């Protein structure tokens, strides 16, 4: 694998961080290419247990260069806090092993406020935002109303640019939302506390990657969230505001000419979904509560209980297709070990007809899950490291998913720790 994207196939939280952490030793560069600090990647390894939000999951390996590409929502405040938290646990983060693209746009303090104000205005029609400012950030980026990290190199010019944006943004804050205006003093504090702290990490990462490409170095492109949260191909409007697909990786990482040779799609052995929006395979009641507890399905960023359901073969097949996945990592198989029978969402029923196709976003509310049950294995598999040692029912479960989604499952994860993996 020379250039490999690791992406989510479902609604996010599939365990991408865990797979990136596992595979990083094969790569020279690990690059985040989209999204912000609005979701979390949990990584458990010999260095400890970490909930990463914006930092690439390759930071635990010596010699690996980690890059935050131009496609990310670069929040100086959250990033600086995260850097300090991770450093406090003994991980070295220096301008040598962490680099921020000078072309990354900055998430500004008012983006978080606007996110919360809009969700408040929507009241019971909320999108389920994590209120980290991601949607207002990306809309301003597309309106060219934010600043680039590299502008920090000339502070006077940076301040003047910010002052003109402030004047414009206060029209919305006060006029539309009847909220407090921002002041330049407040922004000066933000510059001093956070922007100047991250400035030493800012550089021309495009040039670094171009040189790396010429030298034949290997690159791992790390995505946030999953196919169904993609701004263009997901469950609009309950998506995130960036492209979560591997096809966006070359643009967002800083190397538009990159050809991604491998796309590893991460699929969870059952389904979870955080926040609002259609979730056709959702389970409720005691069965759902048991699965949520077994999988510890609470958001890494917000602590919110995740909605749960059986593996959804319709949504997963669609996710594999839009990601162009070449291999699958199936995670959290161990969580299903207690079940005598495992429900599987095999098709959807839409307007009285059964279908294998993932519906148009606004039709999803009318879709129902067609559930079939397959035998469980009822044995603890968390210690298994070889395919042939998995119980037959567990092997059959993997093979059933593989056949339905048309993509080979190359990794089966049976625990959160780095070594809890079966290679096929």
Q: How far is the CB of 329 from ligand GDP (least distance, A)?
A: 9
- Render the burial of 268-295: b for 16+ CB within 10 Å, e for the rest: bbbbbbbbebbbbbbbeeeebeebbebb
| 262 contacts ligand GDP (rule: CB under 6 A) | no
| 415 contacts ligand GDP (rule: CB under 6 A) | yes
- In the complex with ligand GDP, the residue whose CB is nearer, 14 or 77, is 14
Contact characters 24-43, ligand GDP, x per CB under 6 A? ---------------xxxx-
Contact characters 316-355, ligand GDP, x per CB under 6 A? ---------------xx-xx--------------------
Residue 416's CB is within 10 A of a number of other CB atoms, namely 19
Of the listed 13, 115, 312, 334, which one is catalytic? 13
- In the complex with ligand GDP, the residue whose CB is nearer, 6 or 283, is 6
Question: What is the distance between the alpha carbons of residues 294 and 305, in angstroms, rounded to a whole number?
Answer: 12
Identify residues 272-311 at the interface with ligand GDP (CB under 6 A). 300
Q: How far is the CB of 368 from ligand GDP (least distance, A)?
A: 27
SS3 content of the chain, % helix, strand, coil (to 5): 40, 25, 40
- In the complex with ligand GDP, the residue whose CB is nearer, 59 or 191, is 59
Kindly provide the residue ranges of all beta strands, DSSP E only, lying in 299-352, ordered along the sequence.
307-309, 311-312, 327-331, 341-350
Which listed residue (4, 6, 11, 18) binds ligand GDP by CB under 6 A? 18
Q: Report angle CA 184, 186, 192 to the nearest 5 degrees.
A: 100
Reply yes or no on whether 161 is catalytic. no
Of the listed 21, 41, 115, 334, which one is catalytic? 41
Question: What is the distance between the alpha carbons of residues 85 and 93, in angstroms, rounded to a whole number?
Answer: 11
Q: How far is the CB of 177 from ligand GDP (least distance, A)?
A: 31
Which listed residue (15, 206, 252, 265) binds ligand GDP by CB under 6 A? 15
Residue 374's CB is within 10 A of a number of other CB atoms, namely 16
- In the complex with ligand GDP, the residue whose CB is nearer, 22 or 364, is 22
| 413 contacts ligand GDP (rule: CB under 6 A) | yes
| 132 contacts ligand GDP (rule: CB under 6 A) | no
Q: Which of 52, 399, 45, 27 is nearest to 224 (CA)?
A: 52
| 416 contacts ligand GDP (rule: CB under 6 A) | yes
- Render the burial of 47-62: b for 16+ CB within 10 Å, e for the rest: beebebbbbbbbbbbe
Reply yes or no on whether 41 is catalytic. yes
| 16 contacts ligand GDP (rule: CB under 6 A) | yes
Which listed residue (17, 71, 109, 254) binds ligand GDP by CB under 6 A? 17
- In the complex with ligand GDP, the residue whose CB is nearer, 36 or 415, is 415
Q: Is 248 helix (H, G, I), strand (E, B) or coil?
A: helix
Question: What is the distance between the alpha carbons of residues 328 and 19, in angstroms, rounded to a whole number?
Answer: 11
Question: What is the distance between the alpha carbons of residues 97 and 65, in angstroms, rounded to a whole number?
Answer: 5
3-state SS, one letter per residue, for 120-173: HHHHHHCCCCCCCCHHHHHHHHHCCCCCEHHHHHCHHHHHHHHHHHHHHHHHHH
The distance from CA 333 to its chain's CA centroid, rounded to whole angstroms, is 20
- In the complex with ligand GDP, the residue whose CB is nearer, 35 or 76, is 35
Catalytic amino acids? 13, 41
Tell me which residues touch ligand GDP (CB under 6 A). Answer: 8, 12-18, 39-42, 44, 300, 331-332, 334-335, 413-416
């Amino acid at each position: 694998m020379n250039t490999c994207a690791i992406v989510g196939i479902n609604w996010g939280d599939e365990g991408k961080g865990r797979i990136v952490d596992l595979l990083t030793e094969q790569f020279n560069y690990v690059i985040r290419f989209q999204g912000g600090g609005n979701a979390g990647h949990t990584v458990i390894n010999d260095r400890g247990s970490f909930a990463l939000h914006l930092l690439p999951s390759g930071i635990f390996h010596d010699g690996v260069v980690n890059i935050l590409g131009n496609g990310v929502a670069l929040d100086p405040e959250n990033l600086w806090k995260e850097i300090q938290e991770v450093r406090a646990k003994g991980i070295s983060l220096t301008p040598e092993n962490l680099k921020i693209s000078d072309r990354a746009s900055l998430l500004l303090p008012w983006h978080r406020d606007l996110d919360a104000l809009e969700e408040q205005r929507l009241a019971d029609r909320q999108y389920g935002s994590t209120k980290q400012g991601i949607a207002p950030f990306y809309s301003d980026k597309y309106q060219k109303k934010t600043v680039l990290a590299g502008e920090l190199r000339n502070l006077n010019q940076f301040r003047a640019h910010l002052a003109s944006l402030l004047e414009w943004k206060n029209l919305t804050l006060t006029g539309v939302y009847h909220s407090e205006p921002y002041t330049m003093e407040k922004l000066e504090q933000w510059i001093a506390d956070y922007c100047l702290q991250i400035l030493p990490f800012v550089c021309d990462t495009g040039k670094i990657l171009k040189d790396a490409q010429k030298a034949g170095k290997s690159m791992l492109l790390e995505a946030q969230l999953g196919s169904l949260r993609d701004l263009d191909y997901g469950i609009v409007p309950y998506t995130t505001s960036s492209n979560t697909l591997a096809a966006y990786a070359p643009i967002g990482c800083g190397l538009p000419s990159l050809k991604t040779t491998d796309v590893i799609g991460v699929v969870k052995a059952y389904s979870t979904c955080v926040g609002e929006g259609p979730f056709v395979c959702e389970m409720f009641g005691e069965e759902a509560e048991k699965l949520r507890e077994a999988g510890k399905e609470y958001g890494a960023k917000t602590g919110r209980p995740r909605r749960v359901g059986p593996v959804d073969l319709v949504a997963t097949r669609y996710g594999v297709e839009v990601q162009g996945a070449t291999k699958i990592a199936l995670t959290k198989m161990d969580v299903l070990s207690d079940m005598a029978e495992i429900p599987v969402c095999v098709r959807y029923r839409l307007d009285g007809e059964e279908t294998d196709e993932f519906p148009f976003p606004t039709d999803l509310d009318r879709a129902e899950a067609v559930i079939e049950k397959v035998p469980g294995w009822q044995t603890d598999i968390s210690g298994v490291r070889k395919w042939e040692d998995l119980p037959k029912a567990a092997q059959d479960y993997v093979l059933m998913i593989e056949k339905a989604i048309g993509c080979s499952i190359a990794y089966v994860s049976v625990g959160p720790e780095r070594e809890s993996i079966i290679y096929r």
